[in-house]
Amino acid sequence: KPAEDPAWTAAKAAAKAGPADIAIAGQATLHLPADRVFIPQPQAGTLLRAMGNPGSHDELSGLIFPKGEGEWFATLRYIASGYVKDGDAKEWKADELLASYKEGTEASNEERQKMGVAPLEITGWAEVPAYEAG
């Protein structure tokens, strides 16, 4: 992350350090821990594009980075897809979802290559997603 890069400069200026509670699309609260930093939109989308991730990033709520120097980040998206029935969510299969992410990433890598940006690799879940009925 070059210090002179305008996207990084804007992201740092907008960053919110944990611990903090961050409202997500008026629908949820992210309890950001002390060892993380949250970068909101529009700076998050600008930073993603600067890092070689094409697209509009309309559903992006923000990015989560570790405080200090880190080699990873997480995207946080809120998608207003409507009501999800508990029974439907219980049928989700994490392995199939991961395979879908890998497939989409491989397709996006073609665009990254055209931009001269290194490809991304999805290796697995940091934590397997789970649905909590409520």
Same-domain status, 60 and 100: no
Same-domain status, 106 and 124: yes
Same-domain status, 7 and 68: yes
* E strands in 25-114: 28-32, 36-40, 60-66, 74-77
CB neighbour list of residue 62: distance below 8 Å, 6 or more residues apart:
22, 24, 38, 39, 40, 41, 44, 76
Specify the number of domains making up the chain: 2
| Domain range for 126 | 83-134
Decide if 39 contacts 47 (C-beta within 8 A).
yes
Same-domain status, 2 and 55: yes
Record the tokens describing residue 37, joined without a space.
């930093």
CA distances from 82 to 57, 86, 89 (A): 19, 13, 13
Residue 16: what pLDDT? 97
CB neighbour list of residue 8: distance below 8 Å, 6 or more residues apart:
1, 2, 47, 50
Residue 57: what pLDDT? 86
Residue 113: what pLDDT? 87
Decide if 76 contacts 61 (C-beta within 8 A).
yes
pTM: 0.71
Same-domain status, 17 and 45: yes
**Which residue has better confidence, 134 or 59?**
59
Give helix 6-14 / helix 43-50 axis angle, nearest 10°.
Answer: 150
Residue 69: what pLDDT? 75
Which of the listed residues 38, 58, 82 is the one where a domain comes to its end? Answer: 82
Instruction: Tell me the range of 2-16, 19-33, 80-94 where mean pLDDT is highest.
Output: 19-33
Task: Name the average pLDDT for the chain.
Answer: 88
Which of the listed residues 61, 82, 103 is the one where a domain comes to its end? Answer: 82
Decide if 38 contacts 18 (C-beta within 8 A).
yes
pLDDT tens for residues 36-94?
999 999 999 999 999 888 778 888 999 999 998 778 899 999 888 877 788 888 888 89
Same-domain status, 16 and 72: yes
Same-domain status, 43 and 61: yes
**Which residue has better confidence, 22 or 27?**
22
* 35 vs 65: CA distance, rounded Å: 9
